[in-house]
Structure 1
Amino acid sequence: MKICFVMYAWNKVEPSKDSTLRLIKECVDRGFEVSYLTKNEISISKGKVIGNFKKLVSKETNDCVEFYNSMKFESAIKDFTEFDMVFMRADPPVDPLLLNMLELIEDKVFFVNKISGLRKANNKIYAASFDDGNETIVPQTLITKDIDLIKLFVEENNFDKFIIKPLDGMGGKGVVLFERKSVGNLSSICDFYINHTGVPQPIICQNYIEGAEKGDVRVIVVNGEPIGAIMRVPAEGDHRSNISAGGSAIQHILDDYEIELCRKIGKQLNEDGIYFCGVDLINHKMVELNVVSPGGVVPHNRVNNNEVIQKQIVDALLEKYKEFKA
């Protein structure tokens, strides 16, 4: 089986904690032919989507860091349709041009995640679409460029605390926690986020979910099923629990409500071709979806007695591949 990873440059991989590297090694360990390339190495020639692929050649080892450091590459220009499965692991935000090119072959190659699904779900607007106004799945959410509408939203819903964050943020960057008593600072913060590029950008205002100060739960959902989870705990003095923002991971066993909530969300994800996703929960509410290069593999394995969740991920995706080929 031929597998390709569309990802960041190899020298940007952090081998001690990189989820993509664990997925790559799992595929190599299964005897698959694995290649990688970056989005800048994809082109269209004579109506075909091609790329400058680097086939991975490594020595056998159980250690991921050694696996990474010993890697050698064989470069070749190939047609994307020569591959059976393509993992989309480039860092967000997604490049629209990349989606335009790869969508041309979406019916010929199995993508994780599906290109049309990434186009639909690669932003925080998709997560907000689960808002039914009753906080059944997500906290009450407003996405807007209108500062007055944000103020009205906060006042009408009588929020004691609320979150402001940029629409294109990741890793907890740009998330600001407000209390009702400090609402006087709202206009200046919102004005900065909306207008800092010179072109008005929408931002997210979201009800603060009680318990967020204790951390959030990152659930790994594959084919619509939750297969693992960790609790991410904020660093001292920080409200953000993202590990990239200094948070840490501890073991978390999903309760029945969380499992059913993830299955409800997962049903829609699966229908949209999002087969591998990170779902973030706080106090039984979904606060974010990571459909582009979801992580969490390394901390999950570490807090669960070195369980190898990448095996479960690849197993499940191979089952979905069989459906694709049928």
Structure 2
Amino acid sequence: MKICFVMYPWNKVEPEKDTTMRLIKECTDRGFEVSYLTTSDISISKGSVIGKCRKLIFTETEDCVEFYHTMQFETAIKNLTDFDMIFMRSDPPVDPLLLNMLEMIEDQVFFVNKPSGLRKANNKIYAASFDDGKESIVPQTLITRDIDLIKEFVEENKFDKFIIKPLDGMGGKGVVLFQANDIGNLSAIADFYINHAGKPQPIICQNYIEGAEKGDVRAIVINGEPIGAIMRVPAKGDHRSNISAGGSAVKHDLTEHEMDLCRQMGKRLVKDGIFFTGIDLINGKMVELNVVSPGGIVPHNNVNGNLDIQKQIVSMLLETYEEFK
């Protein structure tokens, strides 16, 4: 089997904690031919989607860090339809032009995740579409460029606390927590987020879910089925639980409610071609959906005694690939 990873540059990988590296190594351990390329390596020539692909020439080793550091590559221009499976693992947000290119071949190659699905789900608007106004799945959410509308939203719903965050943020960056009585300070921060790019950008305002100060749950969902989770605990003095923001991971067994919520969302995700997802939960509600380059494998393995969840991930995705064929 030939597998290609569309990812960030190799020299940007942090092998001690990188999820993509665990997936790559699992694929090579199974004897698959594995290549990688970056988003800037993809082109269209004579109606075909091609890429400057780097095939991995690796040393047999059990250690993933050594695997990374001893890697060598064989570079060639390839038609991307020569691959059986393409893993989309670039950092969000995804370039719409790249999605346009890859959508040309998504019926010919099995993508994790499908370009058309990423177009729908690679931003926080998709996650907000699960808001039913009753907080059954997600906290009440407003996406807007209008600061006055944010104030009205907070006051009408009588939020004690709320957060605002950029639409294209990742890793907890840019998440600001407000007390309702601090709403007078909202304008300056919201104005910065809305106008910092030179033209007005939407931002997210969301009800603060009680219990967030204790951390959140990152559920790993494959083919719509939750297969593992960790609890991410914020660093002292920080409201963000993201591990990249200093949070730490502890073992967590998903509750029946959390399992049901993930499966409920999973049905729609799979229908949209999203087979590998990280769903973040607080107090039984989804607060973040990660579809472009979901992480969490290394902390999951660490807190669960090196269960190597990447083996289950790849096995389940191979089952879906067989259905795709």
**Deviation readout 1:255-301 (Å, 9 max, x if unpaired):** 11110010001111111100000000000000010001100000000
SS in 2 for 1:28: helix
- 2:228 paired residue number: 228
Amino acid at match of 1:183: I
Match status 1:239 vs 2:239: yes
- Quick one: distance in 1 between partners of 2:168 and 2:69? 33
Amino acid at match of 1:272: D
- Quick one: distance in 1 between partners of 2:65 and 2:85? 25
Q: How does 1:63-102 map to 2 (within 5 A)?
A: 63-102=63-102
- Quick one: distance in 1 between partners of 2:205 and 2:135? 14
- Quick one: distance in 2 between partners of 1:147 and 1:40? 36
Match status 1:41 vs 2:41: yes
Q: Could you tell me the percent identity over the aligned residues?
A: 78
> How far off its partner does 1:25 sit?
0.1
- Quick one: distance in 1 between partners of 2:109 and 2:151? 47
Q: How does 1:99-118 map to 2 (within 5 A)?
A: 99-118=99-118
- 1:127 paired residue number: 127
Match status 1:60 vs 2:60: yes
- Quick one: distance in 2 between partners of 1:169 and 1:89? 16
Can you give the 5+ residue segments of structure 1 that lack an aligned partner in the other structure? none
- Quick one: distance in 2 between partners of 1:62 and 1:191? 50
- 2:206 paired residue number: 206
> How far off its partner does 1:150 sit?
0.4
- 2:10 paired residue number: 10
Amino acid at match of 2:186: L
SS in 1 for 2:104: helix
**Deviation readout 1:230-254 (Å, 9 max, x if unpaired):** 0000001000000000100000000
- Quick one: distance in 2 between partners of 1:181 and 1:46? 60
- Quick one: distance in 1 between partners of 2:119 and 2:38? 18
Q: How does 1:270-285 map to 2 (within 5 A)?
A: 270-285=270-285
**Deviation readout 1:53-73 (Å, 9 max, x if unpaired):** 000011111100110111110
- Quick one: distance in 1 between partners of 2:19 and 2:301? 10
> How far off its partner does 1:198 sit?
1.6
**Deviation readout 1:28-58 (Å, 9 max, x if unpaired):** 0000000000011111111000011000011
SS in 2 for 1:287: strand
Amino acid at match of 2:6: V
> How far off its partner does 1:218 sit?
0.2
- Quick one: distance in 2 between partners of 1:20 and 1:197? 30
- Quick one: distance in 1 between partners of 2:302 and 2:61? 19
- Quick one: distance in 2 between partners of 1:72 and 1:106? 29
- 1:158 paired residue number: 158
- 1:269 paired residue number: 269
- 2:287 paired residue number: 287
- 2:174 paired residue number: 174
- 1:216 paired residue number: 216
Amino acid at match of 2:312: Q
> How far off its partner does 1:5 sit?
0.1
- Quick one: distance in 2 between partners of 1:320 and 1:153? 42
> How far off its partner does 1:189 sit?
1.0
- Quick one: distance in 2 between partners of 1:214 and 1:275? 29
List 4+ stretches of structure 1 deviating above 3 A: none
- Quick one: distance in 1 between partners of 2:64 and 2:162? 41
Amino acid at match of 2:201: Q
SS in 1 for 2:16: coil
SS in 2 for 1:158: coil
- Quick one: distance in 2 between partners of 1:128 and 1:203? 12
- Quick one: distance in 1 between partners of 2:44 and 2:195? 36
- Quick one: distance in 1 between partners of 2:189 and 2:10? 37
- Quick one: distance in 2 between partners of 1:163 and 1:269? 26
**Deviation readout 1:143-190 (Å, 9 max, x if unpaired):** 000111100000000000000001011000000000011111011111
**Deviation readout 1:73-102 (Å, 9 max, x if unpaired):** 001111000000000001111011110101
SS in 2 for 1:99: helix
